[in-house]
């Protein structure tokens, strides 16, 4: 009996030591071509090399990241299902979208923060505005106001625009989309002319003159546009940074969580990857422990909860 007990007790560590022994599923809570997807694929490649097993990207966009997050929250906690998502899907949904099919604080474990920066306020090039002051004047001159797009109710783009709307009193109507890619397509077609989007996805269109950035929402300017003033610098205070992050289902062995954190941080520290962050218009990525990232998630959940309540935003 003692021998059998000893063997059973040693089984779990042995299984963890063998991890990973087959491909890992990386659920991305955003559509293909989005900023989240771009960075997820960068890290899928890096982690795959470090772990000796490929990471297979599985895009599950929709409902401001709820679909992807729910899929991982309910997955077996064995290290073979990971979640790569954006801040709003975790820290905003907790306040704006209850009841959720999961509890992000209890059912998902923060592993590593990936990047930090603001969203870009972009307009169609035929809109005669180059900053927020000109945008405000233009919208006030339109009897019907102006539509704006975001990648879903409660997304960072939605709440940032609602904050701007509250500060200016502008008549801006929200048009929620499923993905950023759909927003960018419709902006090129003139269907919608204004949106906050992530800092990476619109870069080719901006460089081709098909979109124009007029502000950045974060605490610092975007690397690709050093002359572009932040909202706060333009007189409209809003200093919330967005981020991407890696999560696993609650109950995942701590050794696997720490291994993933170590490999992600090792990749983040590499000069070549930092150059890619700059190329994708993100600031220098932070290096955080599992606990430090968990603290960030909790603090941002409180902060965005305050923003939601102050702006009076509710599920539409």
Say what angle helices 132-140 and 156-168 make with each other, to 10 degrees: 70
How many C-alpha atoms does 88 have within 13 Å on its Cβ side?
29
Neighbour-count burial of 312, counting CB atoms closer than 10 A to its CB (0-12 exposed, 13-18 middle, 19+ buried): exposed
DSSP 230: B
Q: How many domains does the structure of the chain reveal?
A: 2
Domain of 95? 23-117+241-311
> Do residues 114 and 46 lie in contact, with contact meaning Cβ atoms separated by under 8 Å?
no
Predicted local confidence at residue 25, as pLDDT: 99
The mean pLDDT of 128-134, rounded to a whole number, is 98
- Same-domain pairing of 109 and 127: no
- Same-domain pairing of 260 and 207: no
| pLDDT band at 7; cut points 50, 70, 90 | very low
Instruction: Supply 141's token pair.
Output: 């001159």
* 3-state SS assignment for residue 243: strand
CATH code: domain of residue 125: 3.40.190.10
- Across 158-162, 219-223, 252-256, the highest mean pLDDT is recorded for 252-256
Q: Quick check: bond before 213 cis, omega within 30?
A: no
Rounded Cα–Cα distance for residues 120 and 230 (Å) = 9
The mean-pLDDT minimum among 77-81, 162-166, 288-292 falls in 162-166
> Do residues 10 and 42 lie in contact, with contact meaning Cβ atoms separated by under 8 Å?
no
Within 10 A of 288 (CB to CB), how many other CB atoms are there? 22
Q: Report yes or no on 154 lying in a domain.
A: yes
* 3-state SS assignment for residue 58: strand
The mean pLDDT of 220-228, rounded to a whole number, is 90
Does the pLDDT value for residue 284 go beyond 90?
no
Which ranges of 227-269 would DSSP assign to H, the alpha helix?
Answer: 254-269
CATH code: domain of residue 28: 3.40.190.150
Q: Whole-prediction pTM value? A: 0.77
- Same-domain pairing of 71 and 138: no
Nearest CA among 223, 293, 300, 241 for reference residue 264: 293
Pairing, β 212-216 against β 120-123: antiparallel
Tell me which of 216, 232, 267 is where a domain ends: 216
Could you tell me which residue, 274 or 90, shows the higher pLDDT?
Answer: 90
Q: Report yes or no on 138 lying in a domain.
A: yes
CA of residue 206 relative to chain centroid, distance? 20
- Same-domain pairing of 245 and 112: yes
- Same-domain pairing of 128 and 71: no
Tell me which of 152, 181, 216 is where a domain ends: 216
Does the pLDDT value for residue 222 go beyond 60?
yes
């Amino acid at each position: 009996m003692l021998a059998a007990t000893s063997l059973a007790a040693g089984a779990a560590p042995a299984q963890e030591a063998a991890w990973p022994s087959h491909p890992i599923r990386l659920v991305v809570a955003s559509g293909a071509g989005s900023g989240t997807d771009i960075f997820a694929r960068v890290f899928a490649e890096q982690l795959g090399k470090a772990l000796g097993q490929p990471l297979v990207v599985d895009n599950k966009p929709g409902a401001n990241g709820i679909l992807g997050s729910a899929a991982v929250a309910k997955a077996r906690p064995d290290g073979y299902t990971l979640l790569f998502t954006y801040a709003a899907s975790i820290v905003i949904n907790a306040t704006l979208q209850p009841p959720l099919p999961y509890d992000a604080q209890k059912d998902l474990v923060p592993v590593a923060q990936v990047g930090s920066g603001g969203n870009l306020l972009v307009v169609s090039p035929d809109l005669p505005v180059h900053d927020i002051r000109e945008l405000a004047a233009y919208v006030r001159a339109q009897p019907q106001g102006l539509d704006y797009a975001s990648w879903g109710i409660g997304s960072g783009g939605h709440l940032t625009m609602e904050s701007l709307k509250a500060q200016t009193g502008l008549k801006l109507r929200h048009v929620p989309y499923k993905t950023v890619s759909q927003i960018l397509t419709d902006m090129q077609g003139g269907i919608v002319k204004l949106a906050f989007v992530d800092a990476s996805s619109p870069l080719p269109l901006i460089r081709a003159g098909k979109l124009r950035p007029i502000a950045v929402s974060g605490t610092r300017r975007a690397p690709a546009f050093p002359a572009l003033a932040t909202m706060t610098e333009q007189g409209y205070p809003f200093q919330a940074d967005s981020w991407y992050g890696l999560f696993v289902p609650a109950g995942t062995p701590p050794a696997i969580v720490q291994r993933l954190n170590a490999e992600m941080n090792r990749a983040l520290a590499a000069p070549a990857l930092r150059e890619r962050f700059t190329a994708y218009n993100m600031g220098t990525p932070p290096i955080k422990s599992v606990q430090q990232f968990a603290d960030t998630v909790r603090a941002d959940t409180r902060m965005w909860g305050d923003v939601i309540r102050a702006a009076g935003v509710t599920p539409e």
